A and B are shown apart, each in its own frame.
Chain A
Amino acid sequence: MSEREPSSLWERLSEAGSLSDRWLHGAGASVNLANFARGSCLSAPLDELRDASVLLLTKDQLSSALALIELDGVAQRVVICPLDLQPEHLPGIIETAKIDTVVGGRCLGVGRFVRCSTAINPAHRVRRCCQRTEWVLMTSGTTGIPKLVAHTLCSLSTAMTGRDPLGAGAVWSTFYDIRRYGGLQILLRAMLGGGSMVLSSADEPVGGFLARAGATGVTHISGTPSHWRRALMSASLHKIAPRYVRMSGEIADQAVLDHLRAAFPEADIAHAFASTEAGVAFAVGDGLAGFPTEYLGRPGAVDLRVVDGSLRIKSSGNALGYLGGVPFPRDEGGYVDTGDMVEARDGRYFFVGRRGGVINIGGQKVHPEEVEAAINSHPSVRMSLVKARSNPITGAIVVADVVIKSPTEAPETETLKSEILQMCRATLARHKVPATIRFVPAIEVGASGKIARHA
């Protein structure tokens, strides 16, 4: 595809296969793509949204998917808000991304407001691609303020090359929300590969989702190792019989790979590495944890290297950068530093954690500094060190070491613990609240004057 001829998501999904037998299944409604070809999910004509800078605030995943399909190639920019976005971050995002249109959710009093519905309004119009729309995804930053990561349909679909030979009639699904990178990858794989998709819903119990995916005949399904461990605890797991099971977003350890192999003996089981900033790097299909060292320097679209222990990736799947002039972690050679630390053992690289102590809880990043700030706001606390403790259910949990200012004046330790936890619960998302607090006499401070964090 040349630079002059952008091709929209709608055009590409239409070329990938017949529309009439393809569906997007939400938790509460389903949309047939042939029906969608004859109508719109938006309350405003598409022509009016040309060149718009859109904030996508849709509540459910089905309307998010429909809006993305309609807006790609039309809007200049679409900023995709995840479900758990804190409302206090909206004004900053609107300013940074120069938002002039809000689609879905509620009217914020910013520019134009367009409703988005899963009921398709009949509308005879041609979806004409007129530009390369910028897709903006969010990742969490050190201070809790989301970073805005810019992509295009091209960069998001680098890993997908044309029609998937296994894709005809494929029904994809993911435990992920499609408003995050990992979930969006699956939506695009389904749409560009000529398949259908079953979307998850935050309100739906795991058993209900598995039953719905199974009833729809899901063939390809992805999630984080934590999603899969939760599914393995469900009596409804046998309701799905996928040909392809994929893990990404967290370290896949040998135990979860073995559990999935036992649960789905016939399926291809792969674990992939991707990040919102660096894109998809690879998928490993040999059933073993880690990845072969020969992946580094092998010819192909994705170029990997390890510098100072962290994995770096150069590919057309890399994000364009952050909005708002935030420095992007790209080195002089054009490689994006993932911040994921690896160690080589016996011909394979194994992930050992994140630089700077960033903790991954079930696929969600937790910056220790943000949690420490919440703990340190307690008047009896001198300082704290927040770190990860490995966990077989969520990969890791947050734990904290706390130094008390004056042990003689501090309240009883149990009372103090519950006071600190209450402060954390009041200001932090649940997964960021420490699971355990330990009082220690001192915390090591490095030569830089910063807390010594070990990767």
Chain B
Amino acid sequence: MLARAEIIAVIKEVGAEQGKHLAPLSDELGLLETGLDSLCFAIIVARLEDNLGFDPFGSAEDTRFPVTVGDFVKFYETASKNVGA
């Protein structure tokens, strides 16, 4: 079972390292409105791959990119089921 808390923790950790001011992370918040840029998301995805062992972007069957924080979390949750936890 993939912890949503882990994803949020990594987002906050990278935001702090990169000196970004994070908006409150609600499910409806757009990813680009979080205060993070592409480089931050690149680092988040790499770190989550290290922690979780998979990268849902590399293997997505759904061709829709996540747009909100909620989409992003769901993207990982769906992929973790497919990885066959």
Chain A residues in the interface with B (C-beta under 8 A): 205-207, 226, 229-230, 232-235, 255, 258-259, 261-262, 361-362, 389, 391-394, 397, 399, 421, 430-431, 435-436
Contacts and interface: CB of A to CB of B under 8 A. Distances in A.
B7 to A, nearest CB: 15
Chain B residues touching A, range: 20 to 34
A391 B42 CA distance: 6
Given A229-B65, A262-B63, A392 B38 contact: no
B23 to A, nearest CB: 12
Q: Which 6 A-B pairs have the closest CB atoms?
A: A392-B57, A232-B65, A393-B42, A394-B42, A262-B63, A435-B43
Contacts of A430: 18, 39
A232 B68 CA distance: 11
Interface of B: 17-18, 30-33, 37-39, 41-43, 45-47, 50, 55, 57-58, 60, 63-68
A397 B30 contact: no
B51 to A, nearest CB: 11
B67 A389 contact: no
B38 A259 contact: no
Nearest to A431: B39
Nearest to B57: A392
Contacts of B45: 391-393
Nearest to A389: B46
12 contacts: A207-B30, A233-B31, A234-B30, A235-B30, A255-B58, A255-B60, A258-B63, A391-B46, A392-B55, A392-B57, A394-B38, A430-B39
B32 A230 contact: yes
Contact of A436 (B32, B39, B47, B64): B47
Given A207-B32, A389-B46, A362 B38 contact: yes
A362 B38 CA distance: 9
A392 B47 contact: no
A192 to B, nearest CB: 31
